[in-house]
Homo-oligomer: A and B are copies of this chain.
């Protein structure tokens, strides 16, 4: 079943449990965005690299925990990540993948059975869905969800710490809030240090090198009211952006919005 990438999630009215969601991906019933699917469960960004790059990438993630929080990784050549789901197979359990050669997109398959190799290592990196759930549970409105589009994301001039070939600027996601709600959002996301944590900036976009807030580099622009300020969080798109800039001879990522649904609960990642 082919679903356009920006379509509404298929299971709005009856959220799937995480394992059911993965099975639906595996069997091709879900091939698009995973927003609103298996609510309550951690979703992750995917990065798969050959072993020879994996050590440097791991170092990169450890040096940049806010944009690159690793929530799970595989053994070399092993498509399983049992800590995220006992039956999880990273080759089939995402809705859609992107396969890259020398930094160029070559395919967007719904599984990567044909691309799997014994030297590959899979990294699952935390995603803001986890803290967005907590924000909404507290009554805060999230603009891109209200506007039914993707969160706006921007390349900044804030450099990540580099490791091996991996270097470049942080990507941030933006959510506008009234100052009072921004303060509450800072408190809430502080509780989730392993899924991006507190914001890295708020207010003047130029302060982190964003030239035009109306033109995100990824995702969709959202409205900002006069009494609101843009609040910027480190974004899990950062590692993907950094990987592609390093032009690795081979890499696989998730397709935008088509995340890995894990069996870990968002609340497990709250420190308080």
Contact = CB atoms under 8 A, between A and B. Distances in A.
Contact of A203 (B187, B198, B201, B229): B229
Given A186-B187, A187-B190, A179 B198 contact: no
Nearest to A158: B180
Contacts of A227: 204, 207
Contacts of A183: 186, 198-202
A182 interface: yes
Interface in A154-194: 179-180, 182-183, 186-187, 190
Contacts of A186: 183, 186-187
A30 B201 CA distance: 43
A204 B198 CA distance: 21
Contacts of A202: 179, 182-183, 202, 229
A198 B204 CA distance: 21
A179 B179 CA distance: 12
A203 B187 CA distance: 17
A203 B200 contact: no
A87 B216 CA distance: 62
A198 B187 CA distance: 9
Contacts of A190: 187, 190
Nearest to A178: B207
Contacts of A200: 180, 183
Nearest to A226: B204
Nearest to A184: B198
A192 to B, nearest CB: 13
A24 to B, nearest CB: 38
A180 B207 CA distance: 10
Interface of A: 179-180, 182-183, 186-187, 190, 198-204, 207, 227, 229, 272
12 contacts: A179-B201, A179-B202, A179-B203, A179-B204, A179-B207, A183-B186, A183-B202, A186-B187, A187-B190, A190-B190, A203-B203, A204-B227
Report, nearest first, the 8 A-B pairs whose CB atoms are least far apart: A186-B186, A179-B202, A179-B201, A179-B203, A187-B190, A183-B198, A183-B199, A183-B186
Given A179-B207, A183-B201, A202-B229, 7 more contacts: A180-B200, A180-B201, A183-B186, A183-B202, A186-B187, A190-B190, A272-B272
